[in-house]
Amino acid sequence: MALIGTFAPRKCGIATFTEDLKTKVEAHHPNINFDVYALDHLERSSLYDPCVRILAVDEPGAYSDTARAINASGAEAVWLQHEYGIFGGPDGELVTELTDGLSVPLIVTFHTILSEPSARQRDVLARLLARTSHAMVMSRHGRDLLVKLYGAAPDRVTVIEHGAPDRPFGRENQFKLRLGLPKRPVLTTFGLLGPGKGLEHAIEALPAITARHPRVLYRIVGATHPNLVSEQGEAYRDQLKARVVALGVEANVAWDDRFLDTPELLDQLEACDIYLTPYHNLQQSTSGTLSYAVALGKAVVSTPYIHARELLANGVGRLVPVGDPVAIAAAVNALLDHPLELARLKAAAYARGRATIWPRFAQASADLIARASETISSTLPEAGITRSAFDFEGRTTQRATGSHFMSRPSSVTIPAEVRATG
């Protein structure tokens, strides 16, 4: 397999996901191996493992060059991570120069599926779907959008929930001791900091929480998003810290201003009692740290963004309105006031998380690869024709590209018994 996306050591959620996809599938299915093509700038190539190939994100020619390299590499299929902002060109449209040039089956993980795309965003996604043998999404909502809004064939869209670690349940006290926090109720938010996290609302909830539970500690763990730092420095974090001081809750907030590697992140998360995700963006379909928190058996208080609504359904967590510190405080206090209910919610989260642990994720991913390998998806450069598993919006679509037209009919699947005999 060729694997395309941002990749470690780059500090972003998709890079972490791409690395996890490679390491977990290879660990549980040794017959599957990935060649990594990391999206980045060439001047950063020295930061990567020598076996990682760099796709120069802002160089248009690099995309077709990468497609030719993959075609010549012997890769049997490609798995691409799609997010508009990680590829070059307006709305990341250069990704289509890569996918149009591939001659092997293509799997795409759609990390963002917009319900109200611009014309160009819709065109980019349509062209990707037209070239995709199988699409992977991490929420049922995402699948519904691809099928109903973008016309994807239902049998070509697979939901695989974000993977998560498999660790023992109920070790909060052990990990609180490591952090020097014995017997303190611990609230936690993890991830790259930015205004969309809604942390100001969690901070504003603290006076009402500490009035009832004065030993509560809210741990805010994660570096500021690098894009925000490049534009504004640490202005957002400074605003949050100023608000903490203004509310008089300095003793109840701890900051860890780092991007943690996964093992340390998990260790810190194990010390948590209640995980807070007060995010503003209700269209967010995936949160890796939310998946981790649930799988580790943490009580969760969250705004009702897509991933939270699905993962926390049926009493697995508590949902609160966006931008409502009063509701956050009420939900947290209700759990801290009733330890048995807090324990019940933790157990419900841990049970729900068994469906997302890495062995389950790796098996579902291996199954998807097997299905993709049965699909012929060929590009005919001399005619400029791409065959695909998707017939976008139920019809063959043609798009002028220079002197060629891109035709997007359905692909052909050969039964295994025929493939075995050639």
Whole-number Å distance between alpha carbons of 274 and 281: 21
Question: Domain ends where: 332, 355, 378?
Answer: 355
Asked whether residue 104 falls in the same domain as residue 208, the answer is no
Asked whether residue 182 falls in the same domain as residue 217, the answer is yes
pLDDT over 90 (residue 286) = no
Q: What is the CA radius of gyration of the chain?
A: 23
Q: Which of 333, 130, 104, 307 is nearest to 213 (CA)?
A: 333
Cβ–Cβ under 8 Å, residues 161 and 354: no
Q: Which helix (H) or strand (E) holds 277?
A: strand 274-277
Asked whether residue 257 falls in the same domain as residue 339, the answer is yes
Whole-number Å distance between alpha carbons of 392 and 147: 10
Asked whether residue 332 falls in the same domain as residue 366, the answer is no
Asked whether residue 123 falls in the same domain as residue 206, the answer is no
**pLDDT bracket for residue 397 (50, 70, 90):** very low
Asked whether residue 351 falls in the same domain as residue 365, the answer is no
Mean pLDDT of 131-148: 95
Asked whether residue 245 falls in the same domain as residue 386, the answer is no
Question: In the numeric block, which tokens belong to residue 368?
Answer: 């998807």
| The pLDDT value given to residue 375 | 62
| The pLDDT value given to residue 281 | 86
Asked whether residue 190 falls in the same domain as residue 277, the answer is yes
Cβ–Cβ under 8 Å, residues 151 and 54: no
Least confident of 20-34, 156-170, 186-200, 305-319: 186-200
**pLDDT bracket for residue 401 (50, 70, 90):** very low
| The pLDDT value given to residue 228 | 87
What percent of the chain clears pLDDT 70, i.e. is strictly above it? 89
Asked whether residue 66 falls in the same domain as residue 22, the answer is yes
DSSP 8-state code for residue 328:
H
Output the domain CATH number for residue 183: 3.40.50.2000
Question: Domain ends where: 304, 325, 355?
Answer: 355
Asked whether residue 293 falls in the same domain as residue 379, the answer is no
| The pLDDT value given to residue 111 | 93
Query: In the chain, how many domains are there?
Result: 2
> Per residue in 229-252, is it b (16+ CB within 10 Å) or e — as a string?
beeeeeebbeebbebbeebebeeb
pLDDT over 70 (residue 376) = no
* Length of the chain in terms of residues written: 422
Q: Where are the beta strands (DSSP E) in 299-374?
A: 299-302, 318-319
Whole-number Å distance between alpha carbons of 336 and 218: 13
The model's pTM is: 0.82
Whole-number Å distance between alpha carbons of 412 and 419: 12
Question: Domain ends where: 339, 355, 371?
Answer: 355
Domain, as residue range, for 118: 2-163+361-420
Mean pLDDT of 357-370: 96
Asked whether residue 106 falls in the same domain as residue 250, the answer is no
Strands 2-5 and 78-82, by their bridges, are parallel
Asked whether residue 309 falls in the same domain as residue 370, the answer is no
